[in-house]
Amino acid sequence: MRSGLYVEIQKTPESTTWYNGYVVDIEGENIRVEFEDDVWPADDYPTTSVRRCPSVRSGESWTPKVDEPLEVLVPATESSPSGWALAQLKKIKQKSFFFVALEGLLKGPQDMIVEREGVRRVSTEPTIAASGLVRKLVAVDRELHSWLRSQDSIGCLNDVQIKGKLLLASCTHYRPNAKGSPKVTLVGDEHSVALGEKLLVDIHFKHQITMQRFHTHRDRLMEYLSQKENHYKGQFKETFTVDASFVGRIIGKKGENIKRIREVHEVNVLIQDPQEDERWNVTTITVSGEQEEPVQKAKEEMEYIVVKVPIDPQQVGWIVGKGYQNLTDIATKTGLCSSRFDDQSSSIELCGLRHQVEDAKMMISVHRDYLLVYQDMSEERRNIEKGFEELDELKGGKGKKGGKGGRKGAARGRGSGASAGAGKGSQAIADDVQDDYWGRGAASSRRPNTGRGKGRGK
């Protein structure tokens, strides 16, 4: 792991080429330098042969001119690292190709052709002055030892090195045979070392400790979450939605109902916060448990729904009942929360648990099927009464042997009821047919003729 400052090294005082390397350590007036891919072995160089890489200022532009001295990028080879060699610009073609002649030991018989990225101004960076250098070892909190030994720390050390203008910001752990707790070595002038220490301790170390604690806590939580997920995946789960208005009923007073459901069925119940749907506020409920049956039963105790059952206007009286009695009975027997008839839509609104609503719908459906049966019974009753009326007319309306006027009296007793019944609606039919099977007004006409009629025939 390398974190030293990138520098340029002059191999010999006569050389006009400065090779790219990076600082490993500084001892006295010597700087230990390593090279990319270890083309050359690490070696100590005097500070007078090492300079910083020239900084490029933002927005700075430079246009090379013919016969102007400049530096040319010399690519790395198997025997030497890359570097910058002094040269002179001879010619420019198409504003992109530069013909240069190298100076010094690299000078050749032919010009070298390079592109714009391969030339730069002649560096004016001074060599490093050893007399003003300061070395400081910075202690590292125990919580950061592992981080400092990892690749993640290189970015922070490089940031401190660049922004503090240090020659070196590296960990002693990287050095061979390093013993004890790792420390950070800062090398530079007095101001640079002081600034680098502030950046390192008060900024990077401070935040890294917080981050390391977070990562440690996160890892524990992730492990716990993974265990929970594995456990949860092995459970049975049911998810459904209910109108937000039912949440209070599901939870119960002081949470008693939801607590009872959890304990009785041994399930987990998660009630999410209500979310606005396009039509109404809905709440999502998730039930999970070790076995499928308890999960289903717990769901049945919480899945409240509202359903509208359309009713033919001609059947409303029969299904709803007098004074809404039929509807009230169905709601009571199935345990519905509420039931009501909506005049505008001609429908019955049922509100309750899903199984309660389904039971109520079935009862309404079966009750509706009986309407035709009762209509047939009412029609049959009218035909029987009509037969008695026709028989009375054949007898001339006179009773015999003490039965004087008996039939006619009986006919009068039922006359208004029969004629009125012929045009009644479904509720009237229900009232007539269900009243002691044959009804009240026509009872006397259905008994055998005993000759004891109370009416007086004329």
**Any idea which fold 134-228 has?**
Ribosomal Protein S8; Chain: A, domain 1 (3.30.1370)
- pLDDT tens digits, 132-152: 899 999 999 988 988 888 888
Q: What is the DSSP letter of 181?
A: S
pLDDT at 252: 93
pLDDT at 7: 93
Ranges of each domain in the chain: 5-55+63-121, 134-228, 235-302, 305-378
pTM, two decimals, is: 0.47
pLDDT band at 60 (very low <50, low <70, confident <90, very high): low
pLDDT at 45: 94
Which superfamily is assigned to 235-302 in CATH? K Homology domain, type 1 (3.30.1370.10)
What CATH number was assigned to the domain covering residues 305-378? 3.30.1370.10
425-439 burial, b for 16+ CB within 10 Å, e for fewer? ebbbbbbbbeeeebb
Residue with tokens 């039919």: 429
Mean pLDDT for the stretch of residues 269-297: 84
pLDDT at 276: 63
Mean pLDDT for the stretch of residues 318-330: 91
pLDDT at 131: 87
134-228 and 305-378 share one fold: yes
Asked whether residue 419 carries a pLDDT value surpassing 80, the answer given is no
Separation between Cα atoms, residue 324 and residue 210, nearest integer Å: 69
- Which residue type sits at 435? D
360: CB partners within 8 A, 6+ apart:
330, 331, 334, 336, 339, 350, 352
Residues constituting the chain: 458
- pLDDT tens digits, 256-266: 999 999 999 99
Asked whether residue 439 carries a pLDDT value surpassing 90, the answer given is no
Least confident stretch, 188-192, 309-313, 370-374, 414-418? 414-418
Asked whether residue 284 carries a pLDDT value surpassing 60, the answer given is yes
pLDDT at 73: 93
- pLDDT tens digits, 201-222: 999 999 999 998 998 899 999 9
pLDDT band at 3 (very low <50, low <70, confident <90, very high): low
Least confident stretch, 121-130, 393-402, 447-456? 447-456
Share of the chain above pLDDT 70, in %: 81
Rg over alpha carbons for the chain, rounded to the nearest Å, is: 51
Separation between Cα atoms, residue 82 and residue 80, nearest integer Å: 7
CB atoms closer than 10 angstroms to residue 272: 12
Q: 185 and 175 in contact (C-beta within 8 Å)?
A: no
Asked whether residue 456 carries a pLDDT value surpassing 90, the answer given is no
Give the Å distances, CA to CA, from 268 to 235, 295, 317.
10, 9, 45
Share of the chain above pLDDT 90, in %: 50
Mean per-residue pLDDT of the chain = 82
Q: Between 445 and 185, whose confidence is greater?
A: 185
